[in-house]
Amino acid sequence: MKKIAIFLLLSTIAIHSLAQKKNEWKHLKETEQIVKFLASDELAGRFPFTPGIDKAAAFIADEFKKAGLQPWDGKSFIQPFTVTQLHFVLANVVLDSAPIEEKNVFAITNKELLQANERSTDFDTAYISKTDTFLLRAGKLRRTQKKNLVIFADTSHRKILSGISSQYQKYYCDFPEYNSFYNWDKDVIVVLTDKKPENWSVEYRQRAEYKEAKNVVGLLPGKKLSSERIVFSAHYDHLGIRKPNAENDSIYNGANDDASGVAAIIQLAHHFSKKKNNERSLLFSAFTIEEKEGFGAMYFIRQYDSASIIAGFNIEMIGRISEKGVGAADITGYEHSDFGKILQENLAGSPYKFYPDTLSWIIKI
C-alpha cells in the first residue's frame, strides 16, 4: 500500500514542478499529448451522448490497451449502461378554478405521467411560505415524506425554483443506491402560488429517452491477491458547448476538469504494467456522467463486491498548481481516513504537502 500511495502522490502533484525540469520526467510530453487531445476542440467539451465523448472513450480504451491492461470483463474496455433522459412535455395545473402557467410547475419524478387532485389518497400536500427557506423546508419534506407530495410554494421562491428546474431531474437511472438517496420511489410536484389552495388538480407529462453511456475500464491482474482490488479513477466527461465567453469561445474543453486526472490514471497504468509487481489487482476506470449525478461511478461500483475493493483513488483537477503552492494537494474527506497521513509520513522531508479539501464539509451532509 505504501508503494501505491507514494506513486499516486508523485504522479499527481509533481507534474508542474517537474515541468520546470523537463528532462527529470520522461513522460511529461506523453502526458501533455493526452491532455491536449482530450481537451481539444475536436471533442467539443466531451458532453455525454455526443460524438466528442465517444471519441474520448475510444482514445482512452486504446491507451489502456497500449499500457498492457486487460478488458475489465475479458471482452472490452467499454463498460456500457443505460441512462434515461427526461424531456418535459406539458403541465396542466388548476388551483381553485384558476389555471397555473407551466413555468410555475416543477416535478421530481421518473414517471412519464403524473395525475392527482385534492381527493388523491396517494398524495400529501404541504406549503412553503414566503418566510421559509425553500431548500431547507423542501429538503426536510423530501426526507420525511411517506406518500407522493404536492408542494405549494410562495411565488417569492421563483428564482431558486427556476435554478433548480434548469439543472435537476434531467437524467434518471434505475440504480437502487441513486433512487434511495433521492427518494425516487416517491414523486414530488412543486407549484408556485400565493396561497395554499383548497381545490387543485395536476397533470404532468414528460417523455423518456433511453441512451447508452460508457465507462472505460482496464484491469491489471494481481500476482498474489488477485481477488482484492485497488481502483484508480477519474471522470472523462465535461460540460460540452455552452454560452460563449468574452472571447466568443463556447467550448468548455475541460483540460483541468478532468482530462488531467484521466492522463494521470493512464500514466499510472503504464507504470504498474511495466513494474509487474502488483500483488493486488488494479482497476483503472474513466467514469462518464460525473458532471450529471455521478452515474458512471455508481454503475462501476455495482459490478464488484465492495468488500473486494481495498482502496480507491479518484484523481480530480490536478492540472493547476494548488492555491497552497507547488507541491500541495487537497484530499477530499481527509479527516475520514488515514490516507493523507500515510502519504505525508512517507514523504517526510520532501516539499510535498497534503491538506483537507475545502469542500470536505460536503461529506458531512
> Which residue spans within the chain are E strands per DSSP?
70-71, 78-95, 98-100, 105-108, 113-117, 123-128, 148-153, 171-172, 188-192, 200-220, 225-235, 240-241, 251-252, 280-287, 309-314, 328-331, 353-356
DSSP letter (8 states) at residue 362: G
Instruction: List the domain boundaries for the chain.
Output: 2-82+213-364, 84-210
Instruction: For 298-351, write each residue's pLDDT tens digit.
Output: 899 989 998 999 888 899 988 888 888 888 888 887 888 888 888 888 888 888
Q: What is the pLDDT of residues 99-158, one digit of tens each?
A: 999 999 998 888 899 999 999 999 999 999 999 999 899 888 988 888 999 999 999 998
Kindly list the distances between the CA atom of residue 199 and the CA atoms of 95, 155, 202, 311, in Å, as whole numbers in the listed order: 6, 18, 11, 55
29-70 pLDDT tens trace: 899 999 999 999 999 999 999 999 999 999 999 999 999 999
The topology (CATH level 3) of 2-82+213-364 is: Aminopeptidase (3.40.630)
Query: Does the predicted model carry a pTM greater than 0.85?
Result: no
pLDDT digits (tens, 9 = 90+) for 207-230: 989 999 999 999 999 999 999 999
**Residue 135 to residue 224: CA distance in whole angstroms:** 50
Confidence of residue 173 (pLDDT cuts 50, 70, 90): low
